[in-house]
Amino acid sequence: MDLRFSPELETFRSDVQAFLSEALDDELRRGAAYNGGMFQDYETNIRWHRILAAKGWVAPAWPERFGGPGWSVEQRYIFSAECAAAGAPALAPMGLGMCGPVLMGHGTEEQQATFLPRILSGEDYWCQGYSEPGSGSDLAALALDARRDGDHYVLNGSKIWTTHAHHANWMFALVRTDRSGKPQTGITFLLIPMDTPGLRVDPIIFVSGEHEVNAVFFDDVRVPVTHRVGAENDGWTVAKYLLEFERGGGNAGPGLEAAAQRLHRLAADHGVALPHGTLASLEVTIEAVKTLEFRILSALGQGQNPGPESSMLKALAGQARQQLSELTITLLGPPALGGGAAPAPRGATPEVAAASATAAARYFNYRALSIAGGTDEVQRDIIAKRVLGL
CA–CA–CA angle 376, 380, 382 (5° rounding):
115
> Would you call 247 exposed, middle or buried from its count of C-beta atoms within 10 A (0-12, 13-18, 19+)?
buried
How far apart CA 130 and CA 46 sit, in angstroms, is 23
Q: Are strands 170-176 and 126-129 parallel, antiparallel or unpaired?
A: parallel
Domains and CATH numbers, the chain: 7-91 (1.10.540.10), 125-238 (2.40.110.10), 251-386 (1.20.140.10)
Q: What is the mean pLDDT of the chain?
A: 87
What's the rounded Cα separation, in Å, for the pair 23 and 54?
A: 11
Contacts of 215 (CB under 8 A, 6+ apart): 158, 159, 160, 162, 201, 202, 204
pLDDT in tens, 329-361: 888 876 666 545 555 556 567 877 788 888 888
Residue 7 CB contacts under 8 Å (≥ 6 apart), including other chains:
none
64 is catalytic: no
What's the pLDDT score for residue 127?
A: 97
- The pairing of beta strand 213-224 with beta strand 152-159: antiparallel
Listed in sequence order, the residues at least 6 apart from 291 whose beta carbon sits closer than 8 Å to its beta carbon are 1
Rg (CA), the chain: 21
What's the pLDDT tens digit per position in 71-105?
A: 988 898 899 989 999 999 999 999 999 999 999 99
The angle formed by the CA atoms of residues 93, 95 and 99, to the nearest 5 degrees, is 110
Could you tell me if residue 112 is left (phi over 0), alpha (psi between -120 and 50 degrees) or otherwise beta?
alpha
Element (H, E) at 176: strand 170-176
Region of poorest pLDDT, from 15-24, 165-174, 242-251: 242-251
Of the residues 212, 246, 257, 293, which is catalytic?
A: 246
User: Has residue 29 got a pLDDT over 90?
Assistant: yes
d(CA 122, CA 55): 13
Residue type at 36 in one-letter notation? G
Share of the chain above pLDDT 90, in %: 50
Q: How many alpha carbons lie under 13 Å from residue 195 in its C-beta half-sphere?
A: 4
pLDDT score for 303: 64
CA distance 106 to 100: 10
- Please check the confidence at residue 282 and state whether its pLDDT lies above 60: yes
Q: Do 155 and 218 form a contact (C-beta atoms < 8 A)?
A: yes
Mean pLDDT of 204-229: 93
Residue 135 in 3-state DSSP?
strand
Residue 187: predicted pLDDT: 96
Task: Please tell me which residue, 27 or 248, carries the higher pLDDT value.
Answer: 27
Give the confidence band of 21 by pLDDT, cuts at 50, 70, 90.
very high
pLDDT at 140 over 50: yes
**pLDDT-derived band of residue 248, with 50, 70 and 90 as boundaries?**
very low
Interhelix angle 26-33/42-55, nearest 10 degrees: 130
For the cut 50, the answer to whether the pLDDT of residue 165 exceeds it is yes
Q: Which residue has the higher pLDDT, 260 or 277?
A: 260
Q: What are the tens digits of pLDDT across the range 179-199?
A: 998 989 999 999 999 999 999
Q: What confidence score (pLDDT) does residue 1 get?
A: 43
DSSP for 200-242 reads: EEEEE--TTS---EEEEEEEEEEEEGGGEESSTTBHHHHHHHH
Measured CA to CA, the distance from residue 83 to residue 58 in angstroms comes to: 12
The amino acid occupying position 187 is: I
